[in-house]
Structure 1
Amino acid sequence: MPAKASGLGALNVVDEFDGGFGWISHPDETMERTSHALAGDDGVWAVDPVDAEGIDARFEEWGGLDGVVVLYNYHRRDAAAIAARHDVSVYLPEGMSALSTDDFAAPVERFEGRLPGTEYHLRTVTNRGVWQEWALCDGETLVVAESVGTADYFTAPGERLGVSLVRRPFPPAALDGIGPERVLCGHGEGISADAAGELERAISEARRTAPRMYLRHGPTLVRTLAAATL
């Protein structure tokens, strides 16, 4: 099983809800990279997308693609290719200094506050050094790029949602107290059953479960970190 698969993936739809959908293009890869489409006034916004056969038709079912959002500086993924194909821009959080127009073969725009044409607002998760991550939240749906996830290597035994191995010693306090109805993740399927409780538990127990997580998933962490930087 590769840490990160290459090539055009299949459209494995997950996280379907009234306001959009998610897909996992390569379900057999260890990283379980998940992409999302969030509904706006006229169409959908693709968030941290990995390309997949048939995704363009799904965008059209929702009114077309309004833009592509990158929430984490290591999640360029296929943002430029998808944006260029639909003649839209890649949108970056205003404070994301680690990425620039030179990193994308597509137009780049910066935004802060509300994502245009939606009720989603940016929330800074962390913007320190090499880790620059934002989340999107509309009060009901929280989209988190990297700090929490449901992929196997994010979770301790008994967890449905877990804090990233890298963030376990310093869990994302910026996500505490939000109380969303659903959490959509950049790695693994999202959760909607008791999402607020799972998010609170994941953050509060992150340090306590860290030693077990490192013993269980340490080699996977090394492989996925290496793959993420390629």
Structure 2
Amino acid sequence: MPVYDRSSASDVKVIDRWDDGFGWLAHPEEEGKRASHAVKADDGVWVIDPVDAPNIDELLDELGDVTGVAVLCSHHARDAGTVANRYGVPVYVPRWMNRVGERVDAPIEQYDSEFGDSGFEVYRFEPLSLWQEAIAYREADGTLIIPDLLASGPGYTVGSERVGVVLSHRLFPPRATLGDLEPERILFGHGEGVFVDATAALDTALSGARKRFLPALVTQLGTNLRLFIAAMND
């Protein structure tokens, strides 16, 4: 099983469906579980951190007109340019985020705190110079999108956790950034989202991250190293 399957997708698993959006896994069998999303806003449909997959265009068309593609992590260029060019829209990248522009063959639109008129406020998180992350939250409907820092995929959760903090930040979880948010749903860049008692799941992840560090270290270190090496080679 590859960590990240870079070949053209031949299968797709649709996840995270609700009235105003959906997600998908272009390579359901890969260890890294890269998740992509489409979210409806007042200005159209936004495609988030996409990995291209068959039949996705049909689902996007059902949701509405695509107005832009947003990349929320310096390591999530993925197939953003391919999808953007197919729909004739720009790729939106935070002004402070590097690395993405050189990996996307499509027009780039930079922004400060909100991509387009999507209603998503973007919070800057930069744990490393090579890892820059934009956490997007839309208070109007409680949609929270976290590309890498938290997730439900392999290498994140331990025990009964539904949301896990990435191993490198369990000792210092991002309470200042996320602690006051009250999401109705949480979408991740890796793994399926949380749609039931999402705020409680987030609180549990943040409040217990440090005390569950040792079990996470024992069970997740190998997976985290594989994911990190694969991401750095992207």
TM normalised by structure 2 equals: 0.92
User: Which ranges in structure 1 are unaligned for 5 or more consecutive residues?
Assistant: none
1:102 corresponds to: 102
Q: CA deviation at 1:63?
A: 2.1
How many corresponding residue pairs?
229
Cα distance, 1:101–1:2 mapped onto 2, change above 3 Å: closer
- How far off is 1:127 after superposition? 5.8
1:55-134 pair list within 5 angstroms: 55-96=56-97, 98-99=98-99, 101-126=101-126, 128-134=128-134
Moved over 4 A (4+): none
Q: Which moved more, 1:165-174 or 1:124-133?
A: 124-133
Q: Equivalents in 2 of 1:107, 1:17: separation in Å?
A: 30
Structure 2 equivalent of residue 163 of structure 1: 165
RMSD between superposed Cα atoms in Å = 1.5
Q: Does 1:208 align with 2:211?
A: yes
Give the aligned residue type for 2:24.
W
How far is 1:117 from its partner? Answer: 2.8
Instruction: Measure the CA separation in 1 of the matches of 2:157 and 2:127.
Output: 24
Paired AA for residue 160 in structure 2 = G
Corresponding residue for residue 138 of structure 1: 138
Q: Do the aligned partners of 2:70 and 2:115 also contact (CA within 8 Å) in 1?
A: no
How do residues 3-42 of structure 1 correspond to structure 2 at under 5 angstroms?
A: 3-9=3-9, 10-42=11-43
SS class of match (1:124): strand
Which amino acid in structure 2 is aligned with residue 86 of structure 1?
A: Y
SS of structure 2 residue aligned to 1:2: coil
**2:220 match:** 217
Unmatched 5+ stretches in structure 2: none
Give the direction of change, closer, same or farther, for the CA distance of 1:128–1:226 in structure 2 (3 Å limit).
Answer: closer
Q: Shift of the alpha carbon at 1:167?
A: 1.9
SS of residue matched to 1:77: coil
CA contact (8 A) 1:154 1:163 kept: yes
In the alignment, structure 1 residue 188 sits paired with structure 2 residue 191: yes
Question: Do 1:43 and 1:59's aligned partners in 2 also have CA atoms closer than 8 Å?
Answer: no
Contact 1:83-1:90 at 8 Å conserved across structures: yes
The answer to whether the 8 A contact 2:93-2:110 is kept is yes
Q: Is the 8 A contact 1:21 1:38 kept in 2?
A: yes
Question: Cα distance, 1:214 vs. partner?
Answer: 1.4
Percent of pairs with identical residues: 37
Letter in 2 for 1:84: N
Q: Deviations over 1:95-141 (max 9, x none)?
A: 21x22533311110101223223221112233652221111111111
For 2:196 and 2:100, the matched residues in 1 are separated by: 37
